[in-house]
């Protein structure tokens, strides 16, 4: 199956995910999934990411029959506390202060639904160890990069990399929000030809 001959839909409005997907697919479209992203009582962060990736893919697949639909979700967790997108400078500073000198797990889930309707899923967990961060460092970083739309309050593809001691993962693209190694495997299983 040719990459040009099939309708591929990214079930996300994220510009970060779209930039990553362009590395492997020249042509796709984006459709917002419009799903409730609330965490259920007692739901583990990894389970939340998997459930939301599946819900996004299935919601978009219902509106795009015959397409190969990619759903993804990322949940950042400090211990079992979910770190969402901060949305404000104050919350970004508070998140980064809480992460200082600690490890944060980023659970990035994928779900691909093809014309047969069978969801294929993958989960990547990246562990980021933050350096001990002084308040002034945090203030300078947040002012420079404005990471208000990023879970965990940083952009690892930018200046956020300066905040870390180390990153442990299997796929460097997972931390940005779309694990391309696993995605290639899932797309091939759905019949899409990739280089």
Q: Where in the sequence numbering do the catalytic residues fall?
A: 73
- Selection from 41, 147, 175 nearest residue 88 by Cα: 147
Looking at the DSSP assignment, which residues form a beta bridge with residue 167?
Answer: 128
**Gap between the Cα atoms of 53 and 73, Å rounded:** 5
Specify whether the CB–CB gap between 82 and 149 falls below 8 A: no
**Gap between the Cα atoms of 83 and 67, Å rounded:** 32
Strands (DSSP E) along 46-175, which ranges? 68-78, 81-83, 103-113, 119-130, 164-168
Element (H, E) at 18: helix 15-21
Three-state DSSP class for 112?
strand
The 8-class DSSP code of residue 38 comes to: P
């Amino acid at each position: 199956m040719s990459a040009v001959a099939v309708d591929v839909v990214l079930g996300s409005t994220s510009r970060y995910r779209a930039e990553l997907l362009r590395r492997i697919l020249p042509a796709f479209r984006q459709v917002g999934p419009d799903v409730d992203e609330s965490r259920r009582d007692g739901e583990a962060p990894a389970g939340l990411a998997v459930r939301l990736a599946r819900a996004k893919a299935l919601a978009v697949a219902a509106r795009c029959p015959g397409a190969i639909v990619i759903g993804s979700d990322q949940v950042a967790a400090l211990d079992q506390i979910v770190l969402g997108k901060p949305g404000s400078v104050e919350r970004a500073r508070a998140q980064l202060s809480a992460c200082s000198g600690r490890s944060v797990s980023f659970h990035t889930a994928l779900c691909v639904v093809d014309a047969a309707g069978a969801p294929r899923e993958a989960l990547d967990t990246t562990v980021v160890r933050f350096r001990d961060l002084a308040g002034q460092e945090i203030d300078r970083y947040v002012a420079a990069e404005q990471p208000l739309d990023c879970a965990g309050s940083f952009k690892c593809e930018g200046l956020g990399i300066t905040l870390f001691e180390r990153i442990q993962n299997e796929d460097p693209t997972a931390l940005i929000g779309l694990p391309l190694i696993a995605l290639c495997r899932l797309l091939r299983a759905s019949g899409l030809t990739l280089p």
